[in-house]
Amino acid sequence: MEQLLIKIELMMKKAFILLFVLSVLIGCQQSKPGARMVSNADELTEAIANAQPGAEIIMANGEWTDIQIRFAGTGTDEEPITLRAETPGQVIIQGQSNLKLGGEYLVVDGLYFTNGASPSESVIQFFINDDTLANNCRVTNFVIKNFNKSQRNKQDLWVLFKGRNNQLDHSYLAGKSNRGPTIRVNLQGNESIKNYHKINNNHFGFRPPKGGPSAETIQIGSSYTSMTPSYTLVADNLFNRCNGEVEIISSKSNFNEFRNNVFYKSEGSLVTRHGNYCIIDGNYFIGDEDSPHVGGVRLIGTGHWMTNNYFYNLSGEIFRAPLAVMNGIPRSSINRYIQVTDVNVAYNTFVNCVSPLQFGVGSNVDQKDVLPASEIRSLPPIRTLVANNIIYNDQGDRIPIFRHDSIDGVDFKSNVINNQGVAFRGVEGLEVKEFSLAEIEKNVWVPSTDLSEVKVYNGFEFDRIDKDIFGNYRSANNSIGAAISKSSQSSNIMDLSKYGPDWYNPSPAEVDAEIHIVGNSDELNAAIEKAKDGDVIELASDLYMIDLSLKIDKRLTIQSADSVNKSTILFTGGAQTPAFEMNPKGDLTLRAVRLEGNKENHAFASLKENMSSLYNLTILDSEILNFDYVLKAHKYSFAEYIKFQSTIITNCNNGFELSGEDDDRGDYNAENIYIIDSQFDGVRKNVINYYRGGYDESTVGGNLVVKGCTFTNSGEGEENGTLLNTYGIINVDISENTFRNNKVKLITRLWGAKNNSASNNTIVNSGKIISEKNLPLKLIY
């Protein structure tokens, strides 16, 4: 027995020693010898000041508030200086915080920026000041989410590159809503040109539309440095619903490369806005059946190679066309449009895209009477080659090649189209041919028919195109299109593990909505405050009297329990206060509710300031009466969607006031407005005042649909005599409405040169609808 106890004791000692050794080994893997843990700003500053090559500084898990990190040092290629989170994702940077790097071979790893905003021009920047730039530095494994300035007009950047050979990789950036690109590469000074920066394997999540220019996801250079060489590489990233503006990527410098990126349902395009000699290779552009704004590639300038790209289900028009080759301006200034010359468009595949090839985009010779000569885009592309491309349409396209101007300077060689027998105006070098496709993964189709009989065109330096979109070598078995083989393997382009940090889940499981049944005003207020995003509040009583605004800062539905006998919310609040105050991220659906005011207050209004993010508003089957304004959108506020359907609006002084952006800089107050099957009676001034000032031809927003509505006895008090003001809005559809006994001069003035239309309206004693080809607008640049 004693010997048995001795053996057990020896075994326990050996186990203890083994566990100790393992713990040491694990510790060595987690932290380098001499690694320093810091838990506050002073310790962090001291550790950075004393860091030598190979040092590792570990920020303790927890919330770091109002921290401005100045990470300066000199590491080496073999022994960089590293600043990292104790646990990736558990070091939360919030409040007025930012990070600046300066020096050589620095690495920052695993931080999470949220619930705050930078106090400076950027959240992360690769320089500390003009004398201390970053070179050979890396920011990795990061998240920046909803880290916005207080108002959308206040500009900043989330990542700002200077110096050379810097890298942003495996990070997640989403929710930028204020002015300024998410990422900018600056090229000012010789220290920042020929920079060879890398932006790779990142997940760019939802960027909401800003409602105007200056909301790109990536901008490389600027107009004033656009003739300088950058050599920035943007590769293997996912752009997931990046809808900030018409340009997702704006390349404004020379020799940049865009390879193997996925643009998924993003309402914009990859644009070679200024600068030349870009490579656009192996990218996927995936459209959305519910959005006509998802684009592809827009080409401006000279020497670009666009090869091996895949375009699917895109229906964007003109500036957002699948391929938009623009017209240039004679003797163009550096910030306008240089003629497209010496461009190769080869080995691309277009599947189910509307008018996929568009040439002479932006031609505006017809506007020469209202624009200066320096703005007239009259030079069509020249010395441009379109070769070895495939076009396939499930349903035939009447205009697969859209000529906005002459295409005499474009050569077509060995291109093939299956247009399902639908006739179109063709060109020599585009062969009509029957062939089939097979889906190898969701949204990705490749030819299942052998196209080897189509002779591949070998143009000058086409040997540079040595691989297809899947990485297969073309030398052995070349064929037209982005993929050379019908047996190509799936690339799993939507495998989210390939993009961003592995510790962050960008798509958490949705929590089931909870229904809150409320019987009085106090319960209604309490339920709105308590409810979680997506919850439903059900009104069980006939009347709710409210004297203070109901704050909406989450996604909520408020509805009557009885949709026939609607509950009434009677708002008795003071003049110019709203019954529903729309805050950042507020998303309200009001269904089957009667909302009544006192003729001095508002039904709905945004905050007057600090609208750091957008709001949405949907009103269904409701009644709104006795308000000063139905909706008052204050300056700098923005809504992605405003929808009123099957709703009656009566006895209000004003309708929808969306004209707060009066600086004429291209901004506007809402992206999409839908007024459907609704009735307006006794709205004293104009029913809609929707304004976008400033001429910027590449901003294509402002979308208004008014359909199936009735307007009576409205507009009498409106000084400009117009019932529906839509000045400067690009897309307007006024159709199938009835206008009766409205004492106005005009129902609306449409912009004939843009996508404004009116059809099948009944007009009785209500003025008229007119269209002006060209509206006089102030240039914004």
Rounded to the nearest integer, the mean pLDDT of the chain is 93
Tokens of 573: 């609040």
Name the residue among 723, 778, 728 with its Cα closest to residue 750. 728
479 versus 367: the higher-pLDDT residue is 479
Query: What is the per-residue pLDDT for 5?
Result: 40
- Bridge partners (DSSP) of residue 260 are none
Distance (Å) of CA 650 to CA 516, 589, 656, 712, 713 = 30, 20, 13, 10, 10
Tokens of 486: 């019908």
Distance (Å) of CA 439 to CA 214, 445, 450, 595 = 37, 4, 15, 51
10 versus 706: the higher-pLDDT residue is 706
Tokens 């697969």 sit at which residue? 400
Sign, CA torsion 431/432/436/441: positive
- φ and ψ at residue 308, rounded to 5 degrees: 60, 25
Name the residue among 128, 158, 154 with its Cα closest to residue 143. 158
User: Looking at residue 508, what DSSP letter applies?
Assistant: P
Query: Which 3-state string (H, E, C) describes 519-564?
Result: CCHHHHHHHHHHCCCCCEEEECCCEEEECCCEEECCEEEEEECCCC
Distance (Å) of CA 334 to CA 46, 224, 230, 339, 777 = 46, 7, 17, 12, 22
Neighbours of 317 (CB within 10 A): 20
Work out the pLDDT band at 4, boundaries 50, 70, 90. very low
- φ and ψ at residue 535, rounded to 5 degrees: -70, 165
Work out the pLDDT band at 3, boundaries 50, 70, 90. very low
pLDDT greater than 90 at residue 526: yes
Burial label for 608, CB within 10 Å (0-12, 13-18, 19+), is middle
- 738-740 and 762-764 beta bridge pairing: parallel
Please name the residues in contact with 484: beta carbons below 8 A apart, sequence gap of 6 or more.
468, 472, 474, 477, 478
169-173, 484-488, 614-618, 632-636: range with lowest mean pLDDT: 484-488
214-218, 268-272, 524-528, 752-756: range with lowest mean pLDDT: 752-756
Give the tens place of pLDDT for each residue, 692-706. Answer: 988 776 667 899 999
pLDDT greater than 60 at residue 16: no
pLDDT greater than 90 at residue 79: yes
d(CA 360, CA 381): 7
- Cα 513 to chain centroid distance, Å, stands at 27
Work out the pLDDT band at 14, boundaries 50, 70, 90. very low
Q: What is the mean pLDDT of residues 515-522?
A: 97
Work out the pLDDT band at 402, boundaries 50, 70, 90. very high
DSSP 714-781: --TT-TT-BSEE-TT-SEEEEES-EEES---SEEEEEETTTEEEEES-EEESS-EEEEESS----B--
pLDDT greater than 90 at residue 335: no
Model-wide pTM > 0.75: yes
Give the tens place of pLDDT for each residue, 124-155. Answer: 999 999 999 999 999 999 999 999 999 999 99
Longest dimension (CA), the chain: 112
Give the tens place of pLDDT for each residue, 582-600. Answer: 999 999 999 999 999 999 9
For the chain, percent helix, then strand, then coil, each to nearest 5? 10, 40, 50
Name the residue among 297, 298, 306, 250 with its Cα closest to residue 278. 306
Tokens of 18: 């083994």
Query: What is the per-residue pLDDT for 91?
Result: 98
Give the tens place of pLDDT for each residue, 724-745. Answer: 999 999 999 999 999 999 999 9
3 state DSSP class of 25:
helix
Work out the pLDDT band at 513, boundaries 50, 70, 90. very high
Query: What is the per-residue pLDDT for 370?
Result: 75
- Bridge partners (DSSP) of residue 359 are 325, 403
Give the tens place of pLDDT for each residue, 624-668. Answer: 999 999 999 999 999 999 999 999 999 999 999 999 999 888 899
Which run of H or of E encompasses 602? strand 602-606
d(CA 321, CA 325): 9
Task: Say what percent of the chain tops pLDDT 70.
Answer: 95
Sign, CA torsion 425/431/432/437: negative
User: Looking at residue 318, what DSSP letter applies?
Assistant: G
Work out the pLDDT band at 780, boundaries 50, 70, 90. low
d(CA 664, CA 776): 12
d(CA 612, CA 153): 9
Query: Which 3-state string (H, E, C) describes 603-670?
Result: EEEECCCCCCCCEEEEEECCEEECCCEEEECCCCCCEEEEEEECCEEEEECEEEEECCCCCCCCCCCE
Query: What is the per-residue pLDDT for 33?
Result: 60
Whether residue 303 contacts residue 342, with contact meaning beta carbons closer than 8 Å, is answered with yes
Looking at residue 569, its amino acid is I
DSSP 181-206: -SEEE---SGGGSS---EEES-EE--
Burial label for 564, CB within 10 Å (0-12, 13-18, 19+), is exposed
Give the tens place of pLDDT for each residue, 29-68. Answer: 355 666 999 999 999 999 999 999 999 999 999 999 999 9
